[in-house]
């Protein structure tokens, strides 16, 4: 059952899906159809992307009779994603989620930071309706673009009875916001859910689910603070590597200004979150100076298993990029109003 009914027809199921565009390769344009690399992301409007699949959608049992709306929230290459677009997106997603006739949302997004946006939306909004991230590895102008199928699949997932929470759809696979990560630079199935595995797959317009939908509780006060705050707490992400001598940490501390102080550091450690001894010394100094430090792993699979003598807290299973955002939220929530 879709989770709410239109206010003027309380007995009718909600059958509207809203597609919010933010840019990315799914909206990319190249000067030649054979060019899958030298294109500009975030060029084609979301209305155009939706129009391209609407005819086919009407023929699918899952989507037949549904109403679709498109809204352009942003038009960016997602490598440039940041608080300004996230604030707009959070606001528009929240706006549409409370509309009774809306059963779910699809967000078209670049693949490069999709996992960060998906995690943020789930962490703050924990929607009781589905919010499905759709993307592509080839531009819209490609000879054989993957965006239209991914968008169709995302619409089908959003129309699935009982669907909830933020998920991502790519190459026929559905990934939870908490697990999804981009793992390949070029392949069409560029995403993975790590050890957890995907939530399910889309087969001819129907979801086959292996795992439950993401759960969580919306944080309304945090949502309002994120929207009201233009300068989110500054949290940087660094990596441990052979020869990592801590100079980058000392430089960050030296450059920390009262107007934009360094509040947090996430370090992607080697293996089980281990750190070069010199980097560890610099991070311990940063922590002693009041910077909150979290330790993750640069491994694509697995998570840091904490030990009793760890000098630095771990990321609780979050990938370094998601842990960075989690720390931003934690620090913002802890700030005095
Ligand atoms: C982007 O992330 O916006 C560009 C790359 C992509 O979508 O695959």
Split at pLDDT 50, 70, 90, the class of 35 is confident
Q: Closest residue (by CA) to atom 1 of ligand 1?
A: 110
Average predicted confidence (pLDDT) for the chain: 95
> What is the per-residue pLDDT for 13?
77
Question: Of ligand 1's atoms, which has the minimum distance to the CA of residue 112?
Answer: 2
Question: In the predicted model, what is the mean pLDDT of residues 265-274?
Answer: 98
> What is the per-residue pLDDT for 36?
86
Q: How far is the C-alpha of 246 from the C-alpha of 158, rounded, in Å?
A: 46
Which residues participate in catalysis according to the annotation?
Answer: 25
Please state the φ and ψ torsions of residue 305, each to the nearest 5 degrees: -95, 110
Instruction: Say if 16-209 and 233-334 have the same CATH topology.
Output: yes
Is residue 259 over pLDDT 80?
A: yes
SS3 call for 50? helix
What is the residue extent of each domain of the chain? 16-209, 233-334
Q: At what angle do helices 247-255 and 277-288 cross, to 10 degrees?
A: 20
Cα of 44 vs centre of ligand 1, distance in Å, is 13
Split at pLDDT 50, 70, 90, the class of 303 is very high
Structure tokens at 336: 């005095």
> What is the per-residue pLDDT for 3?
41
Residue from 80, 107, 135 to probe ligand 1 pocket by mutation (most atoms less than 8 Å from CB): 135
> What is the per-residue pLDDT for 7?
57
pLDDT digits (tens, 9 = 90+) for 52-110: 999 999 899 999 999 999 999 999 999 999 999 999 999 999 999 999 999 999 999 99
Range of weakest confidence among 29-33, 143-147, 267-271, 330-334: 29-33
% pLDDT > 90, the chain:
93
Cα of 307 vs centre of ligand 1, distance in Å, is 37
Residue closest to 90 by CA, chosen among 115, 122, 50:
122
Cα of 42 vs centre of ligand 1, distance in Å, is 8
CB atoms within 10 A of CB 315: 23
Cα of 235 vs centre of ligand 1, distance in Å, is 23
pLDDT digits (tens, 9 = 90+) for 182-233: 999 999 999 999 999 999 999 999 999 999 999 999 999 999 999 999 999 9
Q: Closest residue (by CA) to atom 2 of ligand 1?
A: 110
Residue from 21, 26, 28 to probe ligand 1 pocket by mutation (most atoms less than 8 Å from CB): 28
Write the CATH number of the domain with boundaries 16-209.
3.40.50.1170
Ligand 1 pocket by C-beta < 6 Å: which residues? 23-25, 41, 77-79, 110-112, 135, 137
Structure tokens at 221: 């006060």
Question: Of ligand 1's atoms, which has the minimum distance to the CA of residue 42?
Answer: 3
Give me the architecture of the 233-334 domain, per CATH.
3-Layer(aba) Sandwich (3.40)
The pTM for the full model equals 0.96
Q: How far is the C-alpha of 227 from the C-alpha of 125, rounded, in Å?
A: 13
> What is the per-residue pLDDT for 2?
38
Cα of 40 vs centre of ligand 1, distance in Å, is 9
């Amino acid at each position: 059952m879709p989770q709410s009914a239109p206010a003027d027809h309380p007995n009718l199921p909600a059958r509207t899906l809203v597609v919010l565009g933010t840019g990315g390769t799914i909206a990319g344009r190249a000067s030649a159809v054979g060019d899958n690399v030298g294109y500009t992301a975030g060029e084609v409007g979301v209305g155009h992307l939706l129009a391209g699949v609407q005819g086919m959608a009407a023929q699918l049992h899952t989507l037949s009779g549904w109403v679709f709306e498109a809204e352009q929230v942003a038009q960016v290459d997602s490598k440039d994603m940041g608080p300004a677009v996230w604030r707009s997106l959070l606001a528009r997603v929240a706006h549409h989620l409370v509309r009774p006739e809306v059963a779910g949302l699809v967000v078209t997004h670049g693949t490069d930071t999709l996992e960060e946006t998906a995690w943020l939306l789930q962490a703050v909004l924990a929607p009781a309706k589905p919010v499905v991230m759709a993307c592509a590895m080839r531009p819209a102008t490609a000879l054989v673009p993957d965006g239209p199928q991914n968008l169709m699949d995302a619409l089908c997932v959003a129309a699935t009875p009982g669907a909830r929470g933020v998920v991502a759809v790519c190459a026929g696979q559905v990934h939870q916001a908490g697990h999804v990560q981009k793992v390949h630079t070029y392949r069409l199935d560029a995403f993975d859910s790590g050890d957890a595995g995907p939530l399910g797959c889309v087969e001819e317009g129907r979801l086959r689910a292996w795992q439950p939908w993401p759960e969580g509780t919306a944080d309304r006060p945090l949502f309002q603070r994120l929207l009201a705050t233009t300068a989110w707490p500054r949290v940087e992400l660094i990596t441990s590597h052979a020869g990592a001598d801590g100079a980058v940490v000392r430089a960050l501390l030296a450059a920390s200004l009262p107007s934009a102080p360094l509040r947090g550091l996430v370090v992607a450690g080697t293996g089980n979150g281990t750190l070069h001894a010199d980097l560890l010394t610099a991070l311990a100094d940063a922590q002693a100076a009041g910077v909150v430090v979290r330790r993750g792993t640069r491994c694509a699979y697995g998570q840091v298993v904490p030990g009793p003598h760890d000098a630095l807290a771990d990321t609780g299973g979050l990938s370094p990029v998601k842990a960075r955002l989690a720390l931003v939220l934690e620090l913002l929530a802890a700030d005095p109003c």
